[in-house]
Chain A
Amino acid sequence: MKSISIYLSLILHRMDLPGPIHDFLLVFLGSGLILGGLGVVLLTNPIYSAFSLGLVLVCISLFYILSNSHFVAAAQLLIYVGAINVLILFAVMFINGSEYYKDFNLWTIGNGLTSLVCTSILVSLITTILDTSWYGIIWTTRSNQIIEQDLISNSQQIGIHLATDFFLPFEFISIILLVALIGAIAVARQ
């Protein structure tokens, strides 16, 4: 039992999965993301597209786990899937109407032009990504990281950054959240 717990803690801290499992998880999550993104935009029933958005958010959270950022993965799962997706589902079900099933989604000229622009954006981004040499850029910007990076966990790194470098944005974020919640309640009342 103790050996199992030590083994699990080593796995969860140093996520060096063996090669084929890593590739299989990447392909699986990537296909989940692609299908979920198509489902958000193309499904006609808005409840189905809200659940497809939930699938996209869970796949992104698993991507964060694969990249060794466990705190961000947990925050994504709690905040996005647990709060924002539920809020969107609430908005969808509260604003129901019989007009949704008459929404035929005709292929207008605007739709075609937008799809042309979006595919051109996607192609230009993909060519830029595949042409850049990322390892040179990452290796030369390692100056402002914490010295003992591999010895402390992800949540401790975030805590150190929040307390030293990003203290002012932390205070501003709390003020923004307070103002946003008060504003949302003031708008949504009678």
Chain B
Amino acid sequence: MMLEHILVLSAYLFSIGIYGLITSRNMVRALMCLELILNAVNINFLKGNIFSIFVIAIAAAEASIGSAIVSSIYRNRKSTRINQSTLLNK
């Protein structure tokens, strides 16, 4: 019973994260929804507890690179709208 509750909650977090990632016009909110997706996947590895550590480490590396990219985009263009997709062309 507990296993199915946790899996249903992780599916809910996954779908909410995908919805937020696609329909967010703000890059930092997209980063936050990406962390939601990674946590939803991470909670599925209950009994294989070594793989959760690897997913946490990968998510940490990706969050640092994502925030570095967002800050460099903001410094260049002064706006963080997501539909200006040629921002890193300079």
Residue positions of A touching B, CB distance < 8 A: 22, 26, 30, 33-34, 37-38, 40-41, 46, 49-50, 53, 56-57, 60, 63-64, 66-67, 69, 71-72, 75-76, 79-80, 83-84, 87-88, 90-92, 94-95, 97, 99-100, 103, 105, 110-111, 114-115, 118-119, 121-122, 125-126, 129-130, 134, 138, 154, 157-158, 161-162, 165-166, 169, 173, 176-177, 180-181, 183-185, 187-188
Main secondary structure of the interface of B (DSSP, over half): helix
Chain B, residues 48-81, CB within 8 Å of chain A (1/0): the string is: 0110111011111111110111111010001111
Main secondary structure of the interface of A (DSSP, over half): helix
- Asked if residues B20 and A40 are in contact (CB atoms below 8 Å), the reply is yes
User: Given B19, B28, B78, which contacts A41 in the complex, CB threshold below 8 Å?
Assistant: B19
Q: Give Cα A125–Cα B11 distance, bound, in whole angstroms.
A: 6
Of residues 1 through 59 on chain B, the ones whose CB sits less than 8 Å from some CB of chain A are 2-9, 11-20, 22-26, 28-29, 31-33, 35-36, 39, 42-43, 46-47, 49-50, 52-54, 56-59
User: Given B32, B49, B62, which contacts A180 in the complex, CB threshold below 8 Å?
Assistant: B62
Interface bracket on B: 35 or more
- Asked if residues B65 and A187 are in contact (CB atoms below 8 Å), the reply is yes
A-B contact pairs, 19 of them (CB 8 A): A40-B20, A53-B36, A56-B36, A60-B39, A64-B43, A67-B2, A67-B6, A69-B46, A72-B56, A88-B31, A88-B32, A97-B80, A103-B26, A122-B11, A129-B11, A158-B49, A176-B58, A180-B64, A180-B65
